[in-house]
Amino acid sequence: MGAYLQQYGAGDEKRNRAIKIVVLSVVAVLILIWAGYLLFHNYPEKRIVNHFLGEVNSAQYQEAYHDWGCTAQHPCPNYDYQRFLEDWGPPKKVSSPWKIANVDGCNSFVTVNVKAQGAELQSLSVQRDDHELGFAPAPECQEKQWRWKQFFQRLLGHGKS
């Protein structure tokens, strides 16, 4: 009779351990999905801006103007090629290559701030639906949204107040 009672509850322990493993695994997968979403949500738009900046940095201004959605044959109505060159070309006299400073995603577009030494910060926008490149209305998205990066910086004491 004693051997019978020694096994009492052993099945409950195995079941509880299995439930704990399943719950922790689901939580870990959800955290990984959330982190992947935060990291890669704006990736296609960021790639478009990197391509544009690569052309500007290598002085391929015709191709960069084409990425802007304009051509020499069909210039943009309010942004002709000469004005484009004033903003991005040799007259700018930047002393370092253009690079992405930060990215902020809105519902319909992504704001990408770019900078180069010797030039002001430029805010670009990339439309989510057709990936059209242009100037952003503001350096940050004006819609209400969670600011995860700033939240964790403040939480860990690395953020600026």
Residue 161 has pLDDT above 50, yes or no: no
Question: Per the structure block, which two tokens stand in for 16?
Answer: 């509880």
Buried b (16+ CB within 10 A) or exposed e, 115-134: bbeebeebbbbbebeeeebe
Domain residue ranges of the chain, discontinuous segments joined by +: 2-38, 44-156
Residue-wise pLDDT for 6-56, tens only, equals 666 667 888 899 999 999 999 999 999 988 887 888 999 999 999 999 999
Name 143's Cβ contacts closer than 8 Å, sequence gap at least 6: 106, 107
Residue with tokens 């990066």: 149
Residue-wise pLDDT for 120-155, tens only, equals 899 999 999 999 999 998 888 876 666 666 666 677
More confident residue, 137 or 161: 137
**Side chain identity at residue 92, one-letter code:** K
Question: Per the structure block, which two tokens stand in for 119?
Answer: 């030039």
Mean of per-residue pLDDT scores for the chain: 85
Q: What average pLDDT score do residues 56-63 get?
A: 93
Distance CA 134, CA 149 (A): 25
The predicted structure's pLDDT at residue 12: 80
Query: Helical H runs in the chain?
Result: 2-6, 10-40, 43-57, 61-67, 81-88, 148-156
Residue-wise pLDDT for 80-97, tens only, equals 889 999 999 888 788 899
pTM for the whole structure: 0.73
